[in-house]
Structure 1
């Protein structure tokens, strides 16, 4: 009998990018249920509130999960990742890697997470080459200076970013 696999893809998603969406598409094929954990992470000075990020992530990703036929949830969290993973019964944490700098950080995190709970595996998916340079932080910076962000995020997200910047002025 196979074990029901619950995957957890955590992140700040401020905003969600095409790179995040690519990792989710690929991760959906590997688990029976995928939980997207939207972290509070106030140290990153998010552009969008936690509630806005949860709503954007759910709107963009739910159709993908329905298309694949995988159970899907978006949940916010404000605690240690491994404690959240235990709470949602995750068997695997899915992480995307863009470059060597990501690997070094993720390598440390995985080692620490393993010390906390060795029963939850971490699975790394390499970013599609088209998305290796995309980071939420850079998307916001490009938008702040009037650059075009349409190649990096879904159209509804680009619109939300532009609106947020206009409201701040």
Structure 2
């Protein structure tokens, strides 16, 4: 049986830190499903379809699928055949938060386990929230993304 992990990649945008977690996850799993979502409580600055296409190009010829999602991650993982959630950690605060989410997922969805990977130190400060805010105020954020912003506009 293939080992499939669901990585809830980002609401906006997908960063090099996310790419790092997926690439390292490919060493552990047969397939990674990247979930790209829409958070109705935040104004998105990166359109979903171009972001999905850009991520697909980043992982071309690799066992990676990109799916849109707006639901609980464990449910989306299970619905897509994944039995693992892949989560990236940047610091100890992330671990406390992510571990609490993992416990909720275990309680709600038996058979979906969470695997934590620590982000490479040089990529640890990159978060999609920071990138989105920088972009909103006109900063060039291409250095933080695995694809140029022009691919998304």
- TM norm structure 2: 0.88
Q: In the alignment, which of 30, 41, 48 is matched to residue 46 of structure 2?
A: 48
Match of 2:21?
23
Offset at 1:160? Answer: 4.3
Residues 3-50 of structure 1 show CA distances to partners (whole Å, capped at 9, x for unaligned) of 310111113251111101101110111111111111222223221232
Task: Give the structure with the higher percent helix.
Answer: 1
Q: In the alignment, which of 7, 19, 23 is matched to residue 9 of structure 1?
A: 7
Deviation larger for 12-21 or 86-95: 12-21
Q: In the alignment, which of 138, 149, 165 is matched to residue 130 of structure 2?
A: 138
Q: In the alignment, which of 17, 30, 33 is matched to residue 32 of structure 1?
A: 30
**Residues 55 and 103 (structure 1), Cα distance of their counterparts in 2 relative to 1, 3 Å cut:** same
Deviation larger for 134-143 or 124-133: 134-143
Q: How does 1:15-164 map to 2 (within 5 A)?
A: 15-63=13-61, 65=62, 71-154=63-146, 156-160=147-151, 164=153
Distance 1:48 1:143 in 2: 9
Distance 1:41 1:144 in 2: 16
Secondary structure class of the residue paired with 2:28: coil
Distance 1:62 1:24 in 2: 13
Secondary structure class of the residue paired with 2:55: helix
Detail structure 1 runs of 4+ shifted over 4 Å in the superposition: none
Q: Which structure 1 residue ranges, 5 or more long, are not aligned?
A: 66-70, 165-169
Query: Between Structure 1 and Structure 2, whose CA radius of gyration is higher?
Result: 1
Distance 2:60 2:68 in 1: 15
